[in-house]
């Protein structure tokens, strides 16, 4: 009488896995999430590249570069929906078996029999087994220069999820975009926080922007310059304009002042000196700054005032110089 149900239970007992279909988003990208609990960075990989380029044995987090096998990168939402899909799959199989047994019992009954025993299956609705849905597309997209894997993300990504490479040019441009955004956030802060908090945070972001601009340029130069045939660069050489320009002159035959206008070069020298004061003297002006930068707006003992326009000008100059170096290496 319970033949179909017994067969279904035996099938479920023997079944080890249930395949759960995953949907890509409207632009053809699969959702992924870093399995490192300290990170959990969410990103997407183009569906065809996930199949053709990404290796099963290792995938890298674009944010922290955590490495794990390809089957470790499901998002929390995918895991939850997959569990629901598996449970619904089991329910659907049991419902079908019980209804089949009920129908069979009715077919076996003899008309006008003195005793009639039949099964009736009630409850248990048909379950729609839908693929695990994808999150909305992410706006920022890039392609790895090394392996051509396409991926998308929110915020910032530093490593290719397929090969783990850090793109010097991509990271450079991404960092400058972040600095520009931070330089423009002052009005928003003033509209949401009290005056003291807003001014303190806005000033900190601007001063950090000056330092981060130098750091982004230094990191770019160190990666571009990393060639065994070129003269060895001393530690932090690219924090110093003269030292960095000399190295590029020896390796590429071009100096910074050949890549920038006189006005841009003057601004670059002033901004680099301001960054030095912020990093080492809490922004307090000394005689060395005045003589080296040519900045007559300050006298020793004053503190630097960093305006959004200064940060944006600095970023523009560094971006131009960085792109010139990228094009030549």
Q: What is the pLDDT of residue 144?
A: 94
The pairs formed by 119-124 with CB atoms below 8 angstroms and a separation of 24 or more are: 119/1, 121/95, 124/91, 124/94, 124/95, 124/98, 124/99
Residue 105 has pLDDT above 70, yes or no: no
Is 172 within 8 Å of 219 (Cβ atoms)? yes
Domain ranges for the chain: 1-161, 167-328
pTM score, whole prediction: 0.73
pLDDT 10s digits, 77-88: 998 888 887 777
Residue 132 has pLDDT above 80, yes or no: no
In the DSSP assignment, the letter for residue 237 is: G
Residue 133 has pLDDT above 90, yes or no: no
Q: What is the pLDDT of residue 119?
A: 57
Q: Give, for 11, the enclosing helix (H) or strand (E).
A: helix 3-14
Residue 141 has pLDDT above 70, yes or no: yes
Quote the mean pLDDT of the chain: 88
Q: What is the pLDDT of residue 10?
A: 66
- Structure-block tokens of residue 129: 């087994």
């Amino acid at each position: 009488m319970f033949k179909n149900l017994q067969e279904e239970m035996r099938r479920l007992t023997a079944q080890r896995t249930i395949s759960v279909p995953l949907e890509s988003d409207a632009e053809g990208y699969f959702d992924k999430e870093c399995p490192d609990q300290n990170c959990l960075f969410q990103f997407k990989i183009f569906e065809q590249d996930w199949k053709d380029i990404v290796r099963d044995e290792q995938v890298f987090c674009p944010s922290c570069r955590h490495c794990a096998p390809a089957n470790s990168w499901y998002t929390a939402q995918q895991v939850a929906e997959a569990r629901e899909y598996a449970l619904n799959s089991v329910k659907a199989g049991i419902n079908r078996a019980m209804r089949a047994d009920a129908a069979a019992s009715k077919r076996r009954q003899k008309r006008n029999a003195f005793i009639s025993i039949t099964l009736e299956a009630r409850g248990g609705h048909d379950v729609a087994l839908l693929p695990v849905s994808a999150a909305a597309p992410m706006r920022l997209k890039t392609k790895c220069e090394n392996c051509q894997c396409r991926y998308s993300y929110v915020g910032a990504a530093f490593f290719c999820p397929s090969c783990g490479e850090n793109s010097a040019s991509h990271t450079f441009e991404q960092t400058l975009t972040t600095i520009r955004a931070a330089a423009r956030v002052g009005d928003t802060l003033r509209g949401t926080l009290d005056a003291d908090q807003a001014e303190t945070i806005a000033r900190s972001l601007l001063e950090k922007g000056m330092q981060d601009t130098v750091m982004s340029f230094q990191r770019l130069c160190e990666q571009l310059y990393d060639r065994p045939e070129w003269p060895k660069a001393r530690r932090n050489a690219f924090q110093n304009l003269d030292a960095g320009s000399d190295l590029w002159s020896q390796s590429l035959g071009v100096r910074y002042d050949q890549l920038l206008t006189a006005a841009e070069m003057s601004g670059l020298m002033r901004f680099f000196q301001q960054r030095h004061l912020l990093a080492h003297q809490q922004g307090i002006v000394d005689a060395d700054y005045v003589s080296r930068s040519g900045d007559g707006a300050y006298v020793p003992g004053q503190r630097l005032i960093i305006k959004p326009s200064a940060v944006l000008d600095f970023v523009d100059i560094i971006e131009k110089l960085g792109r010139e170096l990228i094009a030549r290496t």
